[in-house]
Amino acid sequence: MQPWLGNDMDTYADDLAGLLDALDVKQAMLVGHSTGGGEVSHYVGRHGTGRVSKIALIGAVPPVMLKSDKNPGGMPIAEFDKIRLGTLDRANFYKDLAIPFYGYNRARAHREQGIIDEFWR
């Protein structure tokens, strides 16, 4: 299920905290890849390290992606505006996102329709 509300890093972090609390996890090593890296970072920022011994961020989303004077290598706001407009048609947004996410937009890439379809679901 893809929720319309609560689909953000704070909710992900709070959900992770609820799970770790419910299972009474101690000394966990949290590993986050892509969006999961943001989730792990937000978890530690919101809930501390009481249940965590180590974290690993692998290819994680950066904390600041917007281009600014302090982050000249970031992406211009116009690019984020395009993404936001594209999310209004949520189903097609995810179908289209699968192409660059898996690198199918690269020269000589072989598209796997099953992978694209599964990403969309």
Q: What is the pTM of this model?
A: 0.61
Task: Answer for the pair 55, 26: CB distance below 8 angstroms, yes or no.
Answer: no
Nearest to 55 by CA among 19, 34, 28: 28
What is the mean predicted confidence (pLDDT) over 22-51?
A: 94
What is the mean predicted confidence (pLDDT) over 72-79?
A: 88
Give pLDDT tens digits for 106-116.
899 998 899 88
pLDDT of residue 2: 58
pLDDT of residue 1: 54
3-state secondary structure of 81: helix
Q: Where are the domains of the chain?
A: 1-63, 64-121
Q: Which residues of 84-115 are buried (b: 16+ CB within 10 A; e: fewer)?
A: eeeeeeeeeebeebbeeeeeeeeeeeeeeeee
pLDDT of residue 3: 63
At residue 63 the predicted structure's pLDDT band, cuts being 50, 70 and 90, is low
